[in-house]
């Protein structure tokens, strides 16, 4: 029994299991090893020899880059209310959100979808009424990868009911915890909690009360919420595997051929050095000591070979130096990288292959570039995800911790525009505007020193005093 069979046995229908084979394939490319592609055999004249294709691991590199573009330390989540800001910041800090959100963006790029599922611990919840005893609860955020997200109902791509799986280790045992979010008869959400012991892929249901850490979790919780308490995050790319599904696809899902091209070209490059090693051909009589019969050369050394009988007369030792096609291979790898970066939304020339490694090319990104447009497209969904997650935390804080928070507080997401702007050019332009009298000096300082108007204006006289004293 697997998680799909568990849901079917309970009368739930979800995304076809066949779709998750695509997720597994994308995961393999992300890991840098696809058995059906990177393993192959060659005939050496006597037998088939197993070989493994060398890989540049570009699928992971692409996902890392998109994660850093979309979510980094400069992205700011701002709630207008001071109390609300402090509450959300505390929850994020307790759940290592600053680190995990970037990690989940990378996994989202690799598998197409991620989910954030807040839960409350350290409180006693009445399973029938949803009432909470005490206010010492703590909100935890479960970060769920695509293969453990199983939508149950959706409309226009928005998932309204969903099952989530997560693996939990308790002492020496591993458990699969299944949390099913569904609408109840009262119009509010019910959360069904299931626990299965995972024994080498075989699942057997156990009582929640019998496992440490789960004993306070009721089988069903009737929440007071009419809105979902989970957030589905996906890339803003049309799912051409099955457009009817609410699941996303990997950022490289339509660039598999390009990933293959990169690895085939790189493998050829590596093998060029393997096959291009210096060879020394020897006459048979030169391989052993004439008097003792002991070998003069290491027979296991691939540098030395016995000269064929049809060799040139008189040749005792003959050197063979292969010509390495490094220039051609470098150009070939670069061409493949250009095609890959274009297919993954970066535009051409995003990656540079130099001295055996791949680096991100330094470039000025304009508002008309493909990369700029792609970033802004992905930010549409990500912004909604972050705002919804904050509102869920506020609602749960009020319901389960009596926090007294404004659930309708204004929430803004400021993404890191420095990644998609030429800051040096922008700074020089503003400097000229100050010199021309178009921009006030305090406005310049406020913008570039990240100060408010009062702080910037207060600092300017002090700066003028320093300038005047330096001229005395």
Mind listing the pLDDT tens digit for each residue in 228-278? 999 999 999 999 999 999 999 999 999 999 999 999 999 888 777 666 565
Domain boundary among 379, 398, 418: 418
Give the C-alpha separation, 202 to 128, whole Å.
32
> In terms of domains, do 467 and 399 share one?
no
101 and 138 fall within a common domain: yes
**Number of structural domains the chain divides into:** 2
Q: Are residues 16 and 53 in the same domain?
A: yes
The whole-number pLDDT of residue 19 equals 96
Minimum mean pLDDT range among 5-9, 44-48, 237-241: 44-48
Confidence of residue 221 (pLDDT cuts 50, 70, 90): confident
| Distance from C-alpha of 245 to C-alpha of 157, rounded to nearest angstrom | 7
- Say if residue 59's pLDDT is above 60: yes
- Pair 392, 437 in one domain: no
Q: How confident is the model at residue 400 (pLDDT cuts 50, 70, 90)?
A: confident
What local confidence, expressed as pLDDT, does residue 317 receive? 57
pLDDT confidence of 182, banded at 50, 70, 90?
very high
Do 49 and 69 share a domain, yes or no? yes
The alpha carbon of 11 is separated from its chain's Cα centroid by a whole number of angstroms, namely 33
Statement: residue 288 has pLDDT above 80: no
Is the pLDDT score of 300 beyond 90?
Answer: no
Name the pTM for this structure: 0.79
In a domain, 289, yes or no: no
Q: Is residue 410 part of a domain?
A: yes
375 lies in the same domain as 465: no
Residues 262 and 343: beta-carbon distance below 8 Å: no
Give residue 466's pLDDT band: very low, low, confident or very high (50, 70, 90): very low
Instruction: Indicate whether 309 belongs to any domain.
Output: no
- The average pLDDT across 330-345 equals 91
The answer to whether position 61 is within a domain reads yes
Range of the domain at 429: 423-471
| The pLDDT of residue 70 | 93
Same domain, 109 and 162: yes
Least trusted range by pLDDT, from 86-95, 181-190, 283-292: 283-292
pLDDT for res 128? 58
Q: What is the mean pLDDT of residues 330-358?
A: 87
Residue 352 has pLDDT above 90, yes or no: no
Q: Same domain, yes or no, for 386 and 410?
A: yes
- Give the up-direction half-sphere exposure of residue 279: CA atoms within 13 A in the CB hemisphere: 13
Query: What are the angstrom distances between the C-alpha of 103 and each of 55, 179, 246, 398?
Result: 22, 22, 22, 29
What pLDDT score does 447 carry?
Answer: 82
Task: State residue 144's pLDDT score.
Answer: 95
Considering the domain architecture, whether residues 66 and 96 belong to the same structural domain is answered as yes
Q: Is residue 297 part of a domain?
A: no
Spatial CA neighbour of 14 closest among 143, 182, 252, 142:
182
Instruction: Report the b/e string of 373-383 with b at 16+ CB within 10 A.
Output: ebbeebbebbb
Give dist(CA 259, CA 338) in Å, integer.
11
Q: Are residues 219 and 156 part of one domain?
A: yes
241 and 214 share one domain: yes
Residue 197 domain-assigned (yes or no): yes
Please indicate whether residue 320 or residue 391 has the higher confidence score (pLDDT).
Answer: 391
Summary mean pLDDT of the chain:
84
One domain for residues 413 and 432: no
| Residue 338 maps to a domain | no
Task: Give whichever of 77-91, 190-204, 324-338, 448-462 has the largest mean pLDDT.
Answer: 77-91
In tens, the pLDDT along 79-132 reads: 999 999 999 999 999 999 999 999 999 999 999 999 999 988 776 666 555 555
- Is the pLDDT at 138 greater than 50? The verdict is yes
Q: Is residue 300 part of a domain?
A: no
């Amino acid at each position: 029994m697997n998680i799909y069979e568990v849901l079917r046995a309970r009368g739930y229908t979800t995304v076809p299991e066949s779709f998750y084979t695509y997720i597994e394939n994308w995961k393999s490319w992300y890991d840098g090893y696809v058995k059906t592609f990177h393993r192959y055999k060659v005939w050496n004249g006597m037998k088939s020899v197993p070989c493994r294709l060398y890989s540049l691991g570009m699928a992971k590199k692409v996902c890392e880059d998109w994660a850093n573009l979309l979510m980094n330390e400069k992205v700011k989540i701002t709630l207008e209310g001071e109390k609300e800001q402090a509450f959300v910041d505390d929850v994020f800090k307790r759940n290592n959100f600053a680190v995990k959100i970037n990690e989940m963006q990378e996994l989202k790029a690799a598998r197409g979808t991620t989910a954030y599922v807040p839960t409350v611990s350290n409180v006693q919840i009445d399973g029938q009424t949803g009432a909470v005893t005490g206010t010492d609860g703590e909100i935890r955020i479960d970060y769920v990868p695509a293969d453990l997200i199983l939508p149950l109902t959706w409309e226009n791509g928005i998932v309204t009911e969903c099952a989530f799986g997560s693996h939990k280790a308790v002492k020496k045992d591993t458990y699969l915890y299944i949390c099913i979010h569904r609408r109840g008869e009262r119009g509010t959400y019910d959360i069904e909690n299931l626990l299965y012991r995972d024994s080498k892929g075989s699942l057997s249901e156990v009582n929640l009360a019998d496992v440490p850490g789960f004993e306070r979790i009721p089988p069903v919780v009737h929440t007071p919420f009419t809105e979902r308490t989970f957030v589905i995050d996906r890339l803003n790319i049309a799912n051409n595997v099955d457009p009817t599904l609410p699941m996303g696809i990997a950022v490289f899902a339509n660039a598999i051929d390009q990933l293959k091209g990169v690895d085939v070209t790189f493998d050829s490059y590596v093998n060029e050095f393997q096959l291009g090693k210096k060879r020394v051909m020897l006459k048979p009589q030169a391989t052993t000591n004439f008097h003792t019969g002991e070998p003069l050369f290491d027979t296991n050394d691939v540098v030395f070979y016995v000269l064929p009988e049809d060799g040139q007369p008189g040749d005792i030792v003959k050197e063979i130096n292969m010509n390495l096609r490094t220039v051609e291979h470098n150009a070939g790898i670069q061409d493949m990288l250009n095609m890959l970066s274009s297919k993954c939304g970066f535009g051409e020339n995003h990656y540079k292959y130099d001295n055996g490694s791949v680096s991100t090319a330094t470039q000025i990104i304009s508002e008309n570039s493909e990369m700029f447009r792609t970033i802004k497209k992905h930010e549409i969904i990500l912004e909604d995800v972050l705002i919804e997650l904050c509102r869920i935390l506020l609602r749960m804080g009020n319901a389960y911790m009596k926090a007294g928070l404004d659930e309708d507080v204004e929430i803004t997401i400021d993404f890191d525009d420095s990644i998609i702007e030429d800051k040096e050019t922008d700074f020089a332009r503003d400097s000229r505007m100050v010199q021309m009298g178009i921009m006030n000096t305090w406005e310049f300082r406020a913008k570039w020193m990240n100060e408010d108007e009062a702080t910037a204006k207060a600092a300017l006289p002090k700066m003028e005093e320093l300038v005047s004293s330096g001229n005395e």
